[in-house]
Amino acid sequence: MRWAVTGLGHGTDNAFLVIAGVCLILFLLIIGLMSYFVFRYRRSKGVEPEDIHGNALLETAWTILPVLIVLYMFYYGWLGYDARRKVPEGALTIKANGQMWAWSFEYENGKPSDRLVVPEGRPVKVTLNSRDLIHSLYVPAFRVKQDAVPGLERTVWFTADETGEYDLFCTEYCGTGHSQMISKAIVMKESEFTAWLAGTAEAKAAPAPAAPAGAELFKSKGCAVCHTVDGKPLVGPTLKGIFGKKVRVSTAGKEREVTIDEDYIRRSELEPATDVVVGFPPIMPPQKGVLKEEEIKALIEYIKGLK
Amino acid sequence: MANEGAGYLGTEGRPGGISSWIFSTDHKRIGILYLVSILSFFVVGVSLGFLMRLELISHGPTIMEASTYNSVFTLHGVVMLFLFIIPAAPSIFGNFFLPIMIGANDVSFPRLNLLSWWFYMAGAALALATLALGPADTGWTFYAPYSLRTGTYVSLAVFAVFVLGLSSILTGINFVTTVHRLRAPGMGFWRLPLFVWAVYATAWIQIVATPILGVNLLLVIAERVFGIGVFDPAKGGDPILYQHLFWIYSHPAVYIMIIPGMGIISEIIPVFARKVIFGYRAIAYSSLGIAGVGSLVWGHHMFVSGSSYTAGVIFSFFTFLVAIPSAIKVFNWVGTLYKGSIVLGTPFLFALAFIFLFSIGGLTGLILGALSINVHLHDTYFVVSHFHYIKFGGAGFAFFAGLHYWLPKMTGRMYNTKVANWSCLVLFIGFNLLFFPMLILGIEGMPRRYFDYLPQYSTLQIVSIVGSWVLVTGLIMMFVNLIRGAFRGPRAPFNPWGSATLEWQIPSPPQRENFEKIPEVTKGPYDFRGLR
């Protein structure tokens, strides 16, 4: 087992060692006694069994003792939990958003990222939200996990003490791409982090920023999880050569035929539930308020070019 | 069965054929109906689990795509829980033996009993129909809002579980009434065999908790069909409410699975130690204690879904408390062995394996009940391993122990005990090889319900997959041996283990009418004086 790299995680690890240790002792005691009795009192030794109906003293003892032991365990588990409740003041706030099947993070200065980048040694508060289903943000090395529930903001905090790259998972089952909803948590030195954070902040201030290429957005926004560009349908229809094509869609329960044009693509990005291509489930999360105008344009151009 | 003409299995004086079984109101025949149907579905569940494991043998799609994998683990859960482990011990052994053990000729409502089996089969047919139409891919928990959005046949699968719940409630009502109304003269509550106590406590959970699941499932259907917006946040609903309603039933359901298994173990241990059980009343009370406290711990499934801090602390506290009655049972079983005269019969070997595996299951439950550790381990392989130790290592092995203990009575024939002992060993090794690595995988952070995994988890995954092969080998050995024994084994004597409970005082297999004259009970169920 790898030790935790957060203070909260040390609390969890200590509780684990203590509780698992006590459990191991109890287990060895039970199995040891059981094996000894089976061996010592086996039939082939020809001993006469002795009917013992019970023993008040012994039975009271083995009721009260375990109660004390589990209360001790409860206390230890609670200690590490209580610490998770109080977010330290001055913590860096990062917004996290889950959607099928990608994580996105946004920093105080508006910088977006698909990885959770945090400075070493500074408390970080993550506010979690989801655009579609329940997801769960899990960084095993931090011993941190919290569900992201659509419409209900959740908070979780930690201070990472060791620089490095750590796995970040989704642990609430969320459909076909659940096991691909993986990213990284990256802990950087404070100076490195400041530079990283300033990176886009500068670019943002620069006049008329070049819109990121559509192909890049297609990946970073998580489109590629459901839509391919090679003609093979996945959870959603493939986008290869769809521009200008006619498709059957279901609009408010009625089927109709539409030609895929710029308007249709825009509508499908922002309010995907309006026209759903027949044969596919209506599960795409709406991107209204998520995609910026220039990003929508870049994506439309990209999709047009998929021949 | 091979004993045509013998006892309740015989066709004398009535038409034979399939209709003499599927329309029979004899609790023994209904027990056999459940035995055959439940074991068939168990084979389906095992096959699904086996395929799931096999898929993970290499990265990326090996034998199936991600969406298929998701349906497979969903169906594995639904089949194993609702079609196998919940009904297995109460519906098979409870039906067959509960009336005989209390000295009755049948249950209180024989026709209702038959109806329960029909509901069970209807539910099973619906659940398996989804297999052909397009199986649900939500996980057996049907969590909202995913279960409201996904395009698969969720409504049908949910309705199947609803019908199975109905069957479970009716069975529960029947058993509670039977225990209260049909005990033979002299059979006071403190002379009930502990298996009867266990089934009685379970029946109460079935009656009280199952309707909540029913309501919850109907709401899911209403939500999917009419879009009423109780759980869907997009319509102003609350997905966390779904989780509460779901676990208010589904956590007590874990005890529906395990308590009858504990009852079986409480029957077997004293018989093979040849002495009275240690702490009879403590074991009986602890069944009720588990049923009671167990209904107050459901929130421990939701520590990280964002319940309040206070709720988390309270649910963790009760979770630790519910361990006490289980621990008391284990101590009493081990205590019973002290100064016994122990016969290492097959049922007893399974009971020892049960104590070993159930202890691991229970103790890992304590680790999970601790709040700060739960945050790390929730929804990882650790949880998967923990509940398999409880449900398969515990309830499953207890059920196997029961099969080896009672089949000679049910069929009138004996299996090959040597092969049975070997199959117990192979099962035990396979089980640990399959599920122990999962504990470590969980501690290292491997999330559950993953179609694919990162390279650092490969080695332990492979060990676990090999374990599944060993386990399946053990299962085949055991079932082939038992089926052969049931049809071709040598005739079993009426009391091969020297048991003191009433079912062993009548012929094997029992007559059509359990007792020609209702017996007068004069001694306790584990009084072996005169039998040793």
Domain ranges of chain B: 7-220+239-505
Cα–Cα distance, B58 to B411 (Å, whole number): 44
- Residue of B62, B376, B428, B443 to mutate, interface with A, max A Cβ within 10 Å: B376
Bridge-partner residues for A125, per DSSP? A93, A157
Is B437 near chain A, with CB under 8 Å?
A: no
Does residue A147 lie in a domain region?
yes
Q: B366 and A23 in contact by Cβ < 8 A? A: yes
Domain CATH code at residue A155: 2.60.40.420
Is A1 within the bounds of a domain?
A: no
Same domain (yes/no): A28, A103: no
* Domain identity same for A122 and A184: yes
Residue B341 has its nearest CB partner, among A33, A48, A182, at: A48
Give the closest-approach CA distance of A113 to chain B in angstroms.
Answer: 22
A283: in domain = yes
> Residue B84 gets which letter from DSSP?
I
B371 touches chain A (CB under 8 A): yes
Place of tokens 């690595």: B437
* Region A162-185 average pLDDT: 92
Q: Do A176 and B360 touch (CB under 8 A)?
A: no
Q: Which residues pair with A102 in a beta bridge?
A: A99
Does A21 share its domain with A114? Answer: no
Measured in whole angstroms, the distance separating CA B58 from the mean position of its chain's CA atoms is 32
Q: Are A238 and A224 in contact (CB under 8 A)?
A: no
Q: Are the beta carbons of B281 and A54 separated by less than 8 Å?
A: yes
Q: How much is the ipTM here?
A: 0.90
B134 phi, psi to nearest 5 deg: 150, 95
Residue A208 has pLDDT above 50, yes or no: no
Q: Does B341 touch chain A (CB under 8 A)?
A: yes
pLDDT of amino acid A35:
95
Mean pLDDT of A168-174: 94
The reply to whether A219 and A274 lie within a common domain is yes
> Is the alpha carbon torsion for B503, B506, B512, B513 positive or negative?
negative
The strand order across the sheet containing A102-106 reads A112-113, A102-106, A92-99, A123-130, A154-159
Q: Which residues of chain B have pLDDT under 50?
A: 1-5
pLDDT for the residue A109: 87
End-of-domain residue from the set A172, A205, A238: A205
User: Would the pLDDT of A204 be above 50?
Assistant: no
Q: Tell me, what CATH number does A260's domain have?
A: 1.10.760.10
| Cross-chain residue pair B151–A283, CB shorter than 8 Å | yes
- Asked if the C-beta of B344 comes within 8 angstroms of chain A's C-beta atoms, the answer is yes
The verdict on A36 and A73 lying in the same domain is: yes
Chain A contact for B318, CB < 8 A?
no
Contacts of A99 in chain B (CB under 8 A): none
Tell whether omega for the bond before B145 is within 30 degrees of 0, i.e. cis. Answer: yes
Neighbours of B66 (CB within 10 A): 22
Nearest residue of chain B to residue A18 (CA atoms):
B367
Q: Where are the beta strands (DSSP E) in A90-153?
A: 92-99, 102-106, 112-113, 116-119, 123-130, 135-139, 144-148
By C-alpha distance, the chain A residue nearest B448 is A171
Coil, strand or helix: which one is A120?
A: coil
Residue pLDDT, tens place only, A127-167: 999 988 899 999 999 999 999 998 888 899 999 999 999 99
Who among B306, B360, B378 is closest to A149 (CB)? B306
Give the integer Cα–Cα distance in Å for B397 and B400: 5
User: What CA–CA distance (Å, rounded) separates B471 from B46?
Assistant: 10
Chain A residue numbers with beta carbons less than 8 Å from the beta carbon of B300 are none
Is pLDDT at A203 greater than 50 in this prediction? no
Radius of gyration for chain A, computed over Cα atoms and rounded to the nearest angstrom: 28
B305 touches chain A (CB under 8 A): yes
- Which of B338, B372, B460, B532 to mutate: most A Cβ within 10 Å? B372
Class of the CATH domain delimited by B7-220+239-505: mainly alpha
pLDDT value of residue A1? 62
Specify whether A199 is located in the same domain as A218: no
Task: Kindly determine whether residue A149 and residue B239, on different chains, have CB atoms separated by under 8 Å.
Answer: yes
A254 assigned to some structural domain: yes
Residues A226, A298: one domain?
Answer: yes
B339 CB within 8 Å of a chain A CB: yes
Q: Which tokens go with B133?
A: 């139409």
* A224 and A183 in a common domain: no
User: Is there a single domain that holds both residue A106 and residue A78?
Assistant: no
Positive or negative CA dihedral for B33, B126, B128, B383? negative
Determine how many CB atoms are found less than 10 A away from the CB of residue B269.
29
Gap between the Cα atoms of B293 and B387, Å rounded: 18
What confidence score (pLDDT) does residue A170 get? 95
Which of A27, A144, A169 lies nearest to residue B359, judging by beta carbons? Answer: A27
Q: Give the closest-approach CA distance of B215 to chain A in angstroms.
A: 22
Contacts of B361 (CB under 8 A, 6+ apart): B386, B387, B388, B389, B390, B393, B394
Q: Which pLDDT score is estimated for A212?
A: 60
Mean pLDDT of chain A, nearest integer: 86
Residue A34 to residue B450, Cβ atoms within 8 A: no
Q: Which residues of B touch A63 (CB under 8 A)?
A: 324, 328
Say if A31 falls within a structural domain: yes
Q: In whole angstroms, what is the distance from residue B352 CA to residue A31 CA?
A: 9
Q: Name residue B342's beta-bridge partners.
A: A42
pLDDT of residue B422: 97
Whether residue A194 is found in the same domain as residue A259: no
* CB–CB contact A23 B321 (8 Å): no
E-strand stretches of B330-485: none
Query: What is the rounded (10 degree) CA torsion for B137, B141, B144, B145?
Result: -30
Q: Which chain A residues contact residue B70 at CB under 8 A?
A: 173, 175-176, 178
Residue A99 has pLDDT above 80, yes or no: yes
Contacts of A224 (CB under 8 A, 6+ apart): A218
CB contact under 8 A, B274 and A66: no
Give the B window 62-81 contacts with A, CB below 8 Å. 66-67, 70
DSSP code for B215: H
Strands A92-99 and A246-251: unpaired
Separation CA B162–CA B448 (nearest Å):
26
Task: State yes or no: cis peptide before A101, omega within 30 of 0.
Answer: yes
The alpha carbon of residue B426 and the mean position of all alpha carbons in its chain are separated, in whole angstroms, by 21
Q: CA-nearest residue of chain B to A85?
A: B309
How far apart (Å, rounded) are the C-alpha atoms in residues B112 and B56?
A: 44
Q: Please state, in angstroms and rounded to a whole number, the distance separating the CA atoms of residues B158 and A237.
A: 28
Domain count of the fold of chain A: 3
Domain range enclosing A273: 214-304
The pLDDT assigned to B147 comes to 87
Same domain, A181 and A200: yes
Q: Provide, as residue numbers in chain B, all residues whose Cβ is less than 8 Å from the Cβ of A26.
A: 359, 363
Structure tokens that stand for A234 in this block: 């996945």
Residues β-bridged to residue A152: A149
Would the pLDDT of A307 be above 80? Answer: no
Under an 8 A CB cutoff, do A180 and B360 touch? no
A80 contact residues in B (CB cutoff 8 A): 370-373
Query: Both A21 and A74 in a single domain?
Result: yes
Q: What are phi and psi of B414, to 5 degrees?
A: -105, 140
Chain A interface includes B226 (CB < 8 A):
no
Q: Which residues, other chains included, contact A82 with Cβ-Cβ below 8 Å and sequence gap of 6+?
A: none
User: How many Å apart are CA B364 and CA B261, to the nearest integer?
Assistant: 19
- A125 falls within a domain: yes
Report DSSP state, residue B6.
S
Q: Nearest Cβ partner of A62 from B328, B340, B342?
A: B328
Say yes or no for a CB contact (<8 Å) between A31 and B306: no
- Which residues numbered 451-510 in B keep a CB inside 8 Å of some CB on A? 451-454
**Given this model, what pLDDT does residue B412 score?**
92
Nearest-CA residue of chain B relative to A141?
B445
Among residues B319, B365, B334, B202, which one has the least CA distance to residue B265? B334
Here the tokens at position B288 are 């009720």
